[in-house]
Homo-oligomer: A and B are copies of this chain.
Amino acid sequence: MSEPWKTAITKIEPNKIVVRGYKLDQLMGKLSYPQIIYLLIKGEIPTKNVGKMLDAILVSSVDHGVTPPSCQAAVTVASTGAPLNAALASGILAINQFHGGAIEQSMGTLESGVSLMRDEKISTMDAARRVVKESLEKKKKIMGYGHRIHTNDPRTAKLFKLAQEYGISGKYIEMSKSIQKALLEETGKDLPINVDGAIAAVLCEISIPAELANFFFITARLPGMLAHIYEEKTRYKPMRRIDFSQAEYDGPEERNI
């Protein structure tokens, strides 16, 4: 027979939905979407600032034009007449080790660095040097540094600035910056912290498990994929030949809030 099954997430009774102990209607209007993500994962309501930090992370990765494979898979599937959910599912299936996966890998690196610092009672910078040397010896790339297009990604600076403002900045962001310095020392290359690396550091600061990193990239990219799917369905004929290499932007001019 099947084993008894216990679940600690949600209790359903007539006219009552209780999530992690809280009545859902009490949470509505009080918690933001990122806060309820945190509650679902960690079992506790985060501070407003943690919620704002997650909002900023989700906004930072909402879209990156037509070149990411998640966008291309979603648009390709949408163009065949697929329903919305199938096109989104296809885009999500493209978020893997080599697309989005840098966040999880970078979190692993930062966690190793911070553990080393604690266990060996060494400085952040010394721990960072050890992490970098070890990875160079193993010829393993450290994820989260450098970008194909952006040499100085404005989203990184903004994420770190907000982390400061929200009182979240700590040893992981410090470790992230120290590794950047150590990489320069050891390899002579000045690689900027990219947005994946910055998100990784911030997610570490608020104790998100590294194995759930992919969820934040998926969620962040969801509205972007939706916009591309919706544009495809409303602006173009089904099954057009899509040349992803020549998309031209014809949206609104640059503007300020």
For the complex, is A167 an interface residue (Cβ under 8 Å from B)?
Answer: no
For the complex, is A130 an interface residue (Cβ under 8 Å from B)?
Answer: no
Do residues B80 and A86 form an inter-chain contact, with CB atoms below 8 A?
Answer: no
Residue on B nearest A154 in the bound complex, by CB: B25
For the complex, is A170 an interface residue (Cβ under 8 Å from B)?
Answer: no
Do residues B59 and A80 form an inter-chain contact, with CB atoms below 8 A?
Answer: no
Do residues A248 and B22 form an inter-chain contact, with CB atoms below 8 A?
Answer: no
Q: Which of A145-163 contact B (CB under 8 A)?
A: 149-155, 157-159, 162
Complex Cα spacing A51 to B224, Å? 17
For the complex, is A246 an interface residue (Cβ under 8 Å from B)?
Answer: yes
> Can you give 21 contacting A-B residue pairs, CB < 8 Å?
A9-B224, A9-B228, A9-B231, A10-B64, A12-B64, A17-B63, A21-B253, A28-B162, A29-B158, A33-B219, A33-B223, A40-B223, A41-B223, A72-B72, A80-B94, A80-B99, A81-B97, A82-B93, A87-B93, A98-B239, A245-B245
Q: Closest 4 A-B residue pairs measured CB to CB?
A: A21-B252, A8-B251, A81-B97, A2-B243
Q: A residues engaging B (CB < 8 A)?
A: 1-12, 14-34, 36-37, 40-41, 43, 45, 52, 54-56, 58-60, 62-67, 69-70, 72-73, 76-77, 79-90, 92-99, 101, 149-155, 157-159, 162, 165, 211-212, 214-215, 218-219, 222-224, 226-228, 230-231, 235, 238-257
